[in-house]
């Protein structure tokens, strides 16, 4: 590996080698959180990273998924959303992927994804009409029918290139599923009252929020993280299902250790209503 100004120079072949090292192969589906600068000097920039992943996945058989989250001007996010023009705010690789002519983007103002490959249309379809899971970003963000549901159902590879699990967006899917499952146990006559207390879009309320950096430790304890080095960056690899299921287990059994008091109080009221 060459270096430039103390930064490694990374080429396409090195990236493909690292991706294969963590178990990703042709025909797979992989979502990638990423930081281009973390690797060093990448020959060809963000486009090279995308091509390297597609070399491994083979877009005739597999699919690359990139989070194309919009996080700026949050208060007006749904007013300003444009599926074709709103840029991704989570890194150069995601924005380069979004702009490719073969990419298909899902229709959600805050938590869209762009997908390239055989399952791209299937993964991205239906995001605007997804439903059934309350969240601070509305019921469609991580609802039934969303790309995040698809990634969980199909146990996609879930990768962090040069970033940590603090970027674990599918963790929000787990949080939303936890809230949904708690509410599902509440009797019908009490459910609306408790549901109204959950944080919604631009509406105050409670939410089982916590720092996702801890997810790496939880997944390591289950032997569910693989690692490779690409230039100066660490590639962390897990799978969508164990990622979500681990968070759900912790939320169900250890919530006192990491959730805020207001949500814990809500949870106790909801569970008391379920027992009544």
Tens digit of each residue's pLDDT, the chain (276 residues): 555 568 899 999 999 999 999 999 999 999 999 999 999 999 999 999 999 999 999 999 999 999 999 988 888 999 999 999 999 999 999 999 999 999 999 999 999 999 999 999 999 999 999 999 999 999 999 999 999 999 999 999 999 999 999 999 999 999 999 999 999 999 999 999 999 999 999 999 999 999 999 999 999 999 999 999 999 999 999 999 999 999 999 999 999 999 999 999 999 999 999 998
Helices (H), 23-119: 46-57, 77-80, 92-98
Within a domain: 204: no
DSSP conformational letter for 33: E
Tokens of 85: 């023009």
Instruction: List the one residue out of 143, 212, 200 whose CA is nearest residue 176.
Output: 143
Strands 233-239, 157-161: pairing is: antiparallel
Ramachandran region of residue 101, left (φ > 0), alpha (ψ -120 to 50) or beta?
A: alpha
- Residue 27 in 3-state DSSP? coil
Residue 269 is assigned to a structural domain of this protein = no
* Radius of gyration (C-alpha) of the chain in whole angstroms: 19
Burial of 98 (0-12, 13-18, 19+ CB in 10 A): buried
How high is the pLDDT of residue 41?
Answer: 97
Q: Does a structural domain hold residue 130?
A: yes
Residue 230 falls in which region: left (phi positive, over 0), alpha (psi -120 to 50) or beta? beta
pTM to 2 decimals?
A: 0.96
Residue 3 pLDDT: 52
Question: What is the per-residue pLDDT for 31?
Answer: 99
What's the number of domains the chain is made of? 1
User: The tokens of 100 are what?
Assistant: 């490719």
The answer to whether residue 206 is domain-embedded is no
255 belongs to a structural domain: no
Q: State the residue range of the domain holding 121.
A: 3-171+212-242
* Position 191 in a domain: no
Residue 258 maps to a domain:
no
The answer to whether position 43 is within a domain reads yes
Residue 74, pLDDT score: 85
What residues have CB less than 8 Å from 164, skipping those under 6 apart?
213, 216, 236
């Amino acid at each position: 590996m060459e270096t430039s100004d103390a930064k490694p120079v990374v080429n396409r072949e090195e990236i493909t080698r690292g991706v294969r090292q963590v178990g990703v192969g042709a025909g797979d589906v992989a979502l990638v959180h990423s930081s281009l600068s973390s690797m060093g000097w990448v020959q060809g920039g963000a486009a090279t990273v995308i091509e390297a992943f597609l070399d491994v996945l083979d877009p005739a058989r597999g699919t690359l998924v990139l989070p194309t989250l919009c996080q700026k001007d949050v208060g007006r996010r749904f007013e300003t959303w444009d599926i074709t023009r709103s840029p991704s705010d989570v890194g150069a690789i995601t924005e380069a992927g979004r702009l490719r002519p073969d990419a298909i983007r899902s229709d959600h103002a805050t938590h869209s994804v762009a997908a390239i490959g055989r399952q791209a249309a299937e993964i991205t379809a239906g995001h605007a009409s997804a439903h059934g899971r309350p969240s601070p970003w509305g019921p469609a963000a991580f609802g039934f029918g969303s790309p995040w549901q698809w990634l969980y159902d199909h146990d996609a590879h879930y990768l962090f290139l040069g970033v940590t699990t603090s970027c674990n967006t599918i963790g929000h899917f787990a949080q939303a599923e936890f809230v949904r499952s708690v509410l599902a146990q509440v009797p019908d006559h009490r459910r609306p009252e408790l549901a109204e207390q959950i944080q919604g879009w631009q509406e105050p309320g409670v939410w089982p929020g916590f720092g996702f950096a801890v997810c790496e430790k939880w997944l390591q304890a289950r032997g569910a993280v693989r690692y490779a080095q690409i230039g100066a960056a660490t590639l962390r690899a897990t799978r969508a299902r164990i990622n979500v299921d681990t968070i759900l287990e912790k939320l169900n059994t250890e919530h006192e250790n990491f959730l805020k008091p207001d949500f814990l109080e809500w949870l106790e009221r909801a569970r008391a209503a379920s027992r009544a």
